[in-house]
Amino acid sequence: MPSTAPTAPFDLTLSHFADETQLVRRLLPLARLSTEEDTLLQRYAPLITDQLREQRRHGNGIDALLSGFPLGSDAGRALLTLAEALLRIPDTATCDRLITDLLHAADWKRLAHSDSTLVRLARWTLEHARHWSERESTEPLVRLGLRAAMRELERHFVMAEHIDEALARRNPAFAYSFDMLGEAAQTQADADRYDAAYRQALLALANGHNPGGDSVSIKLSALHPRYEPRQAERVHAELWPRLLALVQLARQHDLPITIDAEESERLTLALSLFKRLLAEPTLAEWDGLGIAVQAYQKRALAQIDWLIERARSHKRVISVRLVKGAYWDSEIKQAQVEGWPDYPVFTRKSHTDVCFLACARRLLDAPDAVYPQFATHNAYTALAIHAMAAGRPFEFQCLYGMGEALYALLPGHGLHYRCRIYAPVGEYATLLPYLIRRLLENGANNAFVHQLLADDEPASATCDPVADTLMHPEPTLARPLVRVDGSIHAPGICWGDDPAIHALRRTLGFASTDTLTAAPTHQASSATRNGRPVYSPFRPELCLGHAINPADADIDLALNRARAVAPAWAATPVSERAALLEAIADALLARRDQLLRHLVHEAGKTLADALAEWREAIDLCRYYAAVARHDWIEQGPSPLGPVAVISPWNFPLAIFTGQIAAALVAGNPVLAKPAEQTPLIAALIVDACHAAGIDRDVLQLLPGDGQVGALLSADARIAGVLFTGSLATAHAIGRNLASHEHLSTLIAETGGINTMIADTSALPEHLIRDAITSAFNSAGQRCSALRLLCLPQATVPALIARLRAAMAELRLGDPAALGTDLGPLISIDANTQMHTATSALHRAGYPGHQYGQLEGFIPENMAAPTLIEVDRPDALPSDIFGPVLAVLPYAPENLDAVLRGVNTLGYGLTLAIHSRCPSFIDTVIERVQVGNVYVNRNQIGAVVGSQPFGGRRLSGTGPKAGGPWLIWRLTQHGDPCHAGPIDATTQTLAATLRELANQCDADEAAVLLGLIDDYAARSPIGRSRALPGPTGEHNTLGYQPRGAIACMASSIGALRQQLVVAILTGNTAVLADTAELGVWYRALGACCHPVPDPLALPIAACLCVTQPSVAFKQQLARRDGPIVDIIMPTPQGHYPLYRLVSELAVSVNTAAAGGNADLLAASE
């Protein structure tokens, strides 16, 4: 029985991330129906459910269409992707490409039977259109037919394009709430357009016939381009006057107006604005103000309690529209990506339904404060509310085109309630795609339209959410920090969590007593050292501490101590080394506030960037510990020996920590040389490592300038170097290492010119959003930052105008301020270098334009976001490291030339692709050689273990950071490649090689055949592995050939072995032209390239049988272009296969084309 005593009010803060099980148990007494209420419900439920089922079986509405093409099927996603994109694509070539791609991507015959004429006709048409699309003569017919079908679909989603037309189409049996729906405002022009549309709707209602009390709904994100928690000050200063004017206009004409619900992160901001509306004197004693509440949010009942209390204190009645919720999938993804303490929404569908009923009872019990409006398409829910209401006033609401059937049936059963239709109004070409995207992005059962597909079919007795919740009170998903593979990610912050934000901001103050000193871990007794102060890049008067540069004697001492401790550290069991990495992660976790403070003040990072980097550092420690435990059990391959870590200033915590952690867990002592600009952060990290149990000889800090790194890399006691920075410095390190008698390891990540390319099927708002983030996050000071944006000519004018307007909304200023988007560049020199590059572009005929909003004091090293238009990929210099974005328009027929131009640049770090066409995406990935590809999302912020990060060619040597192979590269003679499925091409090549091997003498043939079988079985080419990640995202790690491999053996037998391994890893073997291998050359064709001098050609790596001479290594090190890797066989005579391939990480935003079917199932 429901509780007769009122339950205590729910608290907004405590409910935000409440334990789901405990919360639903508190809600159950309010949600449970009494015996009398349940009897009343059961009186109507069977008849109404049967009638609805019959209508859906034979209906021709949108509900029948979506039932016939389920979102969880390939056919359903293909159909809705066509609906989302087809009408907004301006050119026929892209339309035809999309149609062909999607028609062939689905099996239109393998769908459940449907009695709907519309569904059966649609299936027949799409199945036949798949074959018609293959013939050029019928392509226009298919395109015309599908466009017509999409326009028919428009009528079911969008009421009208203009408010006057919508008013004329009203059904007198219903009331209406009109909304000018669409993507959130991205520019001030967007906000102006929405404001004008809302104003026009209010005036149209005021001037027309409105007997049903029709209303207008307002989406706050449409009224300001930066409606987000971190911009709360701007929102209250700039959005508030606009909102107030619209509500005052509604009050003037006594028109109800409702504030729509949006993402949970914005709830506190929305309520702060609503609170101001309630307190506004010009709106006093007016009961036309309303707000929507989403029942899938854990704070739903707390929000209702808050509204009731506010209404009573102002002696007002507030209209409250209770809905299930429209952003469930995206709420889940955001919580996972940002590391929230828990989900802000219920993860089980029945829990949302319980909350809806509990909220309904609370609303019905407060008629003096609220007027309830229940938005549902669920027959059980509607009848439960009828039973609970017991004659008290309320109204139902439903979405246009989705729920009218249910509410048309109720009067026939004596249930006479007003139903208000939520009616989208706007241009079909933009509003239909918007509504379809909400379906695609929120495919799970809690999503706003999907309720209809799952809720109304079963008999009412099986639909009781209270019964289901009693059986399953637990959530369906692990907490956001826990990934599907069981790994635990570092905690983040929800920017809408006010208590957490206030606590974070309190930690950012910097007092003179906070100063630190970064000094060599061990100091020679007789050495003389130089010291220098360390200042904040944004506040040059703020001294953060001092750095003590090591003397030559200190460096010599550090090298000797590292060499001495190396055997003991190498002998330490892997499990102990992994445990120490986990202890380091815990130490970094405990030092969050101090590390964030220094990231903001010493590195100039914004709060969001600082938090993300801190989380990444912790995740890297845990990830490498997990990989070592998994791959090596107790003892791995022999470590290299003392390793130098030379890290950059742009990620002074994450890269520095990650490189140290990888080297340590592989068994190497580390000499850590941080960037000259950020020594104090490095000192904090090393101190945390020592506190976690790392011996002070195993990890030593050597702060200083580039000379320290040069001395380390030139010393023969160094076995390897991990480096991130410029290509020029990487080459210098390589030349130093080449002077060693032994073969030393260089792992370098060197950045480059990163590209984003779009076709006309790309969604403009999402494309611009991701371009802005990719180019200007961290003030453009990322190796992965977007530098070149390639746009199709047909959309260039509109996209550049939108891009400029969006850039104008970025805020530049103090990185410690919550609302800052861009902090300073790291130094005045960095700013000078960037301006020198942009000035050179200007002189070459490519002028730049700067945008953004400056806030307060602006130091000399602050750089505004700059946009430049270029006409070819090679116009952009490679030395730009700041907020500069070049736009390259291209004609679609010149796509191949553009891709060739991008690839010819030689860089290969990140690439982003925006398109709805799978074939376009595949073409771009195939033509441009990079290490990380991002599809329909931004191209920065690689997540540890989900998107291993690192480039190829001019952008790095590999293996990837945050990937499974980096720790292997820090050992001797190891190879992580195991036997597995063999690629068809590899099988063919192996067969040819076996035939050739059998022509050799018996002993050599036996050796070659063994190698061929082994290499073919273990070759990574053609394989890929799925990587864990958040919902709505698909991550894979695949492998590609490195390219030309020089085979430098001195004997024919050894050359044959090198040729075998190069070819079976997909590469081209470059080797000396010799008559003795003529048969092999002819049989293998393009797989081998005989030349007089293999080193005269561009090569990716060089195979050597024995230790190469210093002269040979120096010859390779002096080459321009990519760093050439020297690869030797293991003592067993096998070459390590992983060093002959490049890793390719691909991250796809699946929400852009179909959401997450697994998440849909999980919510049940």
In this structure, are residues 994 and 1012 in contact, taking their beta carbons and an 8 Å threshold?
Answer: yes
How far is Cα 70 from Cα 1136, in angstroms, rounded to an integer?
47
CA atoms lying within 13 Å on the CB side of residue 364 = 22
DSSP H helical segments within 400-528, as ranges? 404-409, 428-441, 450-455, 465-471, 498-506
The alpha carbons of the chain give a radius of gyration, in whole angstroms, of 32
**207-216, 464-473, 664-673, 791-800: range with lowest mean pLDDT:** 207-216
- Residue 196 makes CB contacts below 8 A (sequence gap 6+) with none
**151-165, 603-617, 1020-1034: range with lowest mean pLDDT:** 151-165
How far is Cα 691 from Cα 680, in angstroms, rounded to an integer?
16
End-to-end CA distance of the chain: 25
3-state secondary structure of 817: coil
Confidence of residue 284 (pLDDT cuts 50, 70, 90): very high
Is pLDDT of 1157 > 50?
A: no
Domains of the chain and any CATH numbers? 12-32+158-471 (3.20.20.220), 64-153 (no CATH), 498-724 (3.40.605.10), 754-819+832-955 (3.40.309.10), 984-1022+1033-1147 (3.40.605.10)
- Please name the residue that has the structure tokens 């805020």: 811
Q: Give the model's pLDDT for residue 154.
A: 73
> What is the dihedral angle through the alpha carbons of 48, 49, 52, 56, rounded to the nearest 10 degrees?
-170
Is pLDDT of 543 > 90?
A: yes
**Would you state the structure tokens that stand for residue 996, as one six-digit string?**
């050739």
How far is Cα 974 from Cα 1048, in angstroms, rounded to an integer?
22
pLDDT tens column, 636-691:
999 999 999 999 999 999 999 999 999 999 999 999 999 999 999 999 999 999 99
- Please name the residue that has the structure tokens 């919740």: 469
How far is Cα 597 from Cα 508, in angstroms, rounded to an integer?
5
Q: Give the model's pLDDT for residue 156.
A: 74
Strand order in the sheet with 1068-1072: 1088-1091, 1068-1072, 1044-1047, 1101-1103, 1125-1127
Q: Give the model's pLDDT for residue 76.
A: 75
The mean per-residue pLDDT over the stretch 222-246 comes to 98
Q: Which helix (H) or strand (E) holds 191?
A: helix 188-207
Would you name the residues annotated as active-site residues?
Answer: 749, 783
Is pLDDT of 432 > 50?
A: yes
Q: Which helix (H) or strand (E) holds 199?
A: helix 188-207
3-state secondary structure of 1145: strand
Closest CA to 376 of 306, 308, 295: 295
- Residue 43 makes CB contacts below 8 A (sequence gap 6+) with none
In this structure, are residues 1093 and 1119 in contact, taking their beta carbons and an 8 Å threshold?
Answer: no
Q: Give the model's pLDDT for residue 117.
A: 59
In this structure, are residues 694 and 586 in contact, taking their beta carbons and an 8 Å threshold?
Answer: no
- Please write down the HEC assignment for all residues of 992-1050: HHHHHHCCCCHHHHHHHHHHHHHHHHHCCCCCEEEECCCCCEEEEEEEEECCEEEECCC
Is pLDDT of 969 > 50?
A: yes
Q: How does DSSP assign 596-630, residue by residue?
A: HHHHHHTT---HHHHHHHHHHHHHHHHHHHHHHHH
Is pLDDT of 181 > 90?
A: no
Mean pLDDT of the chain: 91
pLDDT tens column, 839-898:
999 999 998 999 999 988 889 999 999 999 999 999 999 889 999 999 999 999 999 999
In this structure, are residues 33 and 368 in contact, taking their beta carbons and an 8 Å threshold?
Answer: no
- Please write down the HEC assignment for all residues of 843-896: HCCCCEEECCEECCCCCCCCCCCEEEECCCHHHCCCCCCCCEEEEEEECHHHHH
**304-313, 788-797, 871-880, 1113-1122: range with lowest mean pLDDT:** 871-880
Comparison of pLDDT for 247 and 141, the residue scoring more? 247
pLDDT tens column, 499-533:
999 999 888 876 666 779 999 999 999 888 999 99
pLDDT tens column, 575-612:
999 999 999 999 999 999 999 999 999 999 999 999 99
Confidence of residue 118 (pLDDT cuts 50, 70, 90): low
- Residue 321 makes CB contacts below 8 A (sequence gap 6+) with 177, 258, 261, 290, 291, 292, 293, 373, 375, 397
Residue 430 backbone dihedrals phi, psi, to 5 degrees: -110, -35
In this structure, are residues 960 and 1146 in contact, taking their beta carbons and an 8 Å threshold?
Answer: no
DSSP 1138: G
AA letter at 248 = Q
How far is Cα 955 from Cα 737, in angstroms, rounded to an integer?
19
CA atoms lying within 13 Å on the CB side of residue 820 = 28
Which regions of 714-829 does DSSP assign to beta strands (E)? 720-724, 745-749, 754-758, 786-792, 811-812
How far is Cα 965 from Cα 1142, in angstroms, rounded to an integer?
11
Is pLDDT of 953 > 80?
A: yes
Is pLDDT of 174 > 60?
A: yes
Closest CA to 1045 of 1060, 1027, 1030: 1060
Q: Give the model's pLDDT for residue 1060.
A: 98
Beta-strand relationship, 1101-1103 and 1088-1091: unpaired
The mean per-residue pLDDT over the stretch 401-426 comes to 89
Which long-range CB contacts under 8 A does 569-575 form with residues at least 24 apart?
569/639, 569/667, 569/668, 569/669, 569/695, 569/698, 570/638, 570/639, 570/667, 570/668, 572/667, 573/634, 573/635, 574/628, 574/629, 574/632, 574/633, 574/634, 574/635, 574/636, 574/665, 574/667, 575/629, 575/634
Q: Give the model's pLDDT for residue 857.
A: 83
639: left (phi over 0), alpha (psi -120 to 50) or beta: beta
The mean per-residue pLDDT over the stretch 332-358 comes to 96
**Would you state the structure tokens that stand for residue 936, as one six-digit string?**
């329909």
**Would you state the structure tokens that stand for residue 1119, as one six-digit string?**
């080459």
Q: Give the model's pLDDT for residue 114.
A: 64
In this structure, are residues 765 and 183 in contact, taking their beta carbons and an 8 Å threshold?
Answer: yes
DSSP H helical segments within 633-776, as ranges? 654-665, 679-691, 706-714, 727-738, 764-776
Exposed, middle or buried, 50 (CB in 10 Å: 0-12/13-18/19+)? exposed
> What is the dihedral angle through the alpha carbons of 1083, 1085, 1090, 1095, rounded to the nearest 10 degrees?
-130
Closest CA to 30 of 305, 348, 391: 305
Is pLDDT of 85 > 90?
A: no
The mean per-residue pLDDT over the stretch 270-299 comes to 97
Strand partners, 1039: 1143
Angle at which helix 574-590 crosses helix 592-601, to 10 degrees, equals 70
2: left (phi over 0), alpha (psi -120 to 50) or beta: beta
What share of the chain in percent tops pLDDT 70?
91
Report the length, in residues, of the chain.
1164
How far is Cα 505 from Cα 597, in angstroms, rounded to an integer?
10
In this structure, are residues 81 and 106 in contact, taking their beta carbons and an 8 Å threshold?
Answer: no
Q: Give the model's pLDDT for residue 110.
A: 66
- Please name the residue that has the structure tokens 């892997």: 574
Comparison of pLDDT for 121 and 1080, the residue scoring more? 1080
Residue 536 backbone dihedrals phi, psi, to 5 degrees: -75, 135
AA letter at 192 = D
DSSP 112: -
Q: Give the model's pLDDT for residue 414.
A: 87
pLDDT tens column, 1063-1095:
999 999 999 999 999 999 999 999 999 999 999
How far is Cα 698 from Cα 251, in angstroms, rounded to an integer?
72
The mean per-residue pLDDT over the stretch 1136-1159 comes to 82
How far is Cα 749 from Cα 952, in angstroms, rounded to an integer?
8
Q: Give the model's pLDDT for residue 112.
A: 63
For the chain, the farthest-separated pair of C-alpha atoms sits apart, in whole angstroms, at 102
Q: Which helix (H) or strand (E) holds 179?
A: strand 175-179
Q: How does DSSP assign 322-388, residue by residue?
A: EE--S-HHHHHHHHHHHT-SS-SB-SSHHHHHHHHHHHHHHHHT-TTTEEEEEE---HHHHHHHHHH
DSSP 237: I
Exposed, middle or buried, 105 (CB in 10 Å: 0-12/13-18/19+)? middle
AA letter at 727 = L
Comparison of pLDDT for 861 and 83, the residue scoring more? 861
